[in-house]
Chain A
Amino acid sequence: MAKRVMTVDDSRTMREMVTFTLRKAGFDVSEAEDGQQALDVLKTAPVDVLITDLNMPRMDGVTLIRALRGDPKWRSVPILMLTTESDANKKAEGKSAGATGWLVKPFDPQKLIDVVKRVAG
């Protein structure tokens, strides 16, 4: 069965880009616009890898990661953050919240696939 990935980003372009790239690589991709929506959707539709932006309205990425890591079910699910190089502090914050890895925007499509495969196994 194809690995399920969720992309959480308030930017439609980024979401579509991640979806576009990963679908072509054979992943099953779902989307959420912010942390809160991601949490709501994940309750009923779990995934194998989560990719989240950090800057988002309603619930930002760091809060989302903390919320997920607080739930036993989510302890071992890889979470990747999408950051920009200027986001050094945010990245550290995300890591301490429990992010598995990160990807610097703008990402190279192949790199995205490689990284997702690296953490998803």
Chain B
Amino acid sequence: MHNASPRASAPVAFAAPPGAGPDPVTITAGQFITCTLDAAEYGIDIMAVREIRGWAATTAIPHAPPWIRGVINLRGIIVPILDLRARFGMPLTVPTQMHVVVIIQTGTRTAGLLVDAVSDIVSVAPEEIRPVPEIGASVPERLLCGLVPLERGMVALVSLESLLTFDEEALAASADASALHS
């Protein structure tokens, strides 16, 4: 899968680290919205961002993984909300009115990412993007598609395609759970 967002600048292709999936990950340079989760900063391709809205209560989805916070009504479309912190293996976010949801779209899929706040917009040139090291990352490697060293620290670029490919996992989790109940 390739990043679906249209862009003028040239895409930079990386071979994914071994074990992170068979497909090479393509990431395009350009502008990224960054958000801070605890100490780390994450970058979200600005071309995929549809809107940023405040946190609102969600409807729970049965047997979804804990990082799926449920679904909301986005102008008539049912959109799942992912807790980005929990998705990256950290504890669940305790959402308040100060928290924001970044609505992103890749391909035909739309989802919301629950984050603490949006901190910055950074421009990234292709040559600035470093591959994600295989080991030592607490985050499942395939959810990231590049690292960008900045003066103030490092921004990890989020692979939105991978992030939004959660049905198998979710379904598996759902099936396990329903098996327990039945």
- A adjacent to B, CB under 8 Å: no
Q: Please give the residue numbers on chain B whose beta carbons come within 8 Å of chain A beta carbons, in ascending order.
A: none
A residues near B (Cβ < 8 Å) are: none
